[in-house]
Amino acid sequence: MKAAVLVFPGSNCDRDLATAFRAAGFDTTMVWHKDATLPDGVDLVGVPGGFSYGDYLRCGAIAAQSPICRAVADHAVRGGFVLGICNGFQVLTEMRLLPGALMRNTGIKYICRNETLTVGQGDSPFLAGYQAGQQVAFPIAHHDGNYSADAETLDRLEGDGRVAFRYAANPNGSARDIAGILSENGRVLGLMPHPERAADKTLGGSDGAAMFSGLAGALTTA
Amino acid sequence: MKARVSVMLKTGVLDPQGEAIRHALGALGFDGVDGVRQGKVIELDLADGTTEDRIREMCDKLLANTVIENYQIEIL
């Protein structure tokens, strides 16, 4: 099982994500944003949190146009797995790999704290380590995590079981309490909370570890 | 030639920054400010003869996120 973690100028959760991937058994390579190709045989691409390009223009907008993101789009089209966390989620929406957009939190403030999330119904390898309806605690750390999409898109996401995580107590104004969403094929997941920051007990929580181990398990049995 | 692109959130999309500005204006004693929308202005220095269609392409591809934003192009 091979994973790649993208590194943009301003990424700051790339090494945390690589650590979580490796702990789950992924042979993980860091990939610079100027590279035009992913390493051969990569199953999973991680788009990490941080402040790519200083959040200039819009969060994730410039990273979404980088050479490596064209390779990530091709990887997704081929049915590859992509996980975008926080700024990575913003990048995936800017790439239009996932619908909607992340706007400024309704309270204007940057929020950094643990949030309780409810796991959705989605039939996705990313959720294989969880039960639908289970509650987990992941930290959030964002200024622009307010998920926004038109009503038709939101209805479709809910109807197709593509809401992967919802906030138990909405911290940022996200439409329908959405914290994370899946692509149609369930192989692209974007979420604002940080499972990689809750993947080891010494970090104060380990609820996130099941996402990585569950995905690894689903990939090895597949 | 120069062009100015104004990017604004679409009508109906909540603008938390605009709301914060509206509250701040109220706190400063400016009554009667019913709404504030904050956007951005991008000025482009362009090769002469750049078409509006080309600028529109720039907007659709990068300058605006048309999921939540509208834009207007002004040739200066």
Domain A2-221 of CATH type 3.30.1950.10: no
Q: Residue B8 sits in a domain of what CATH number?
A: 3.30.1280.10
Predicted structure pTM score: 0.94
d(CA A178, CA A113): 17
Where exactly are the structural domains of chain A? 2-221
Q: List, in sequence order, every residue forming a beta bridge with A163; answer none if it has no partner.
A: A181
- Which pLDDT score, from 0 to 100, does residue B38 have? 94
**Mean pLDDT computed over A32-52:** 97
Chain B positions with Cβ closer than 8 Å to A: 13-14, 16-17, 20, 61-63, 65, 67-68
What pLDDT is attached to residue A222? 63
Q: Give CA–CA dist A183/A187, Å, rounded.
A: 6
Domain count, chain B: 1
As a whole number, mean pLDDT of residues A187-203 equals 96
Q: Which domain holds residue B30?
A: 2-75
Contact flag A106-B67 (C-beta cutoff 8 Å): no
Which among A93, A52, A103, A58 has a CA at the least distance from the CA of A73? A93
Residue of A nearest to B65 (CA): A94
Q: Which of B7, B15, B67 to mutate to test the interface with A (most CBs of A within 10 A)?
A: B67
ipTM greater than 0.90, yes or no? no
- Give a three-class secondary structure readout of B11-75: CCCCCHHHHHHHHHHHHCCCCCCCCCCCCEEEEEECCCCCCHHHHHHHHHHHHCCCCCEEEEEEE
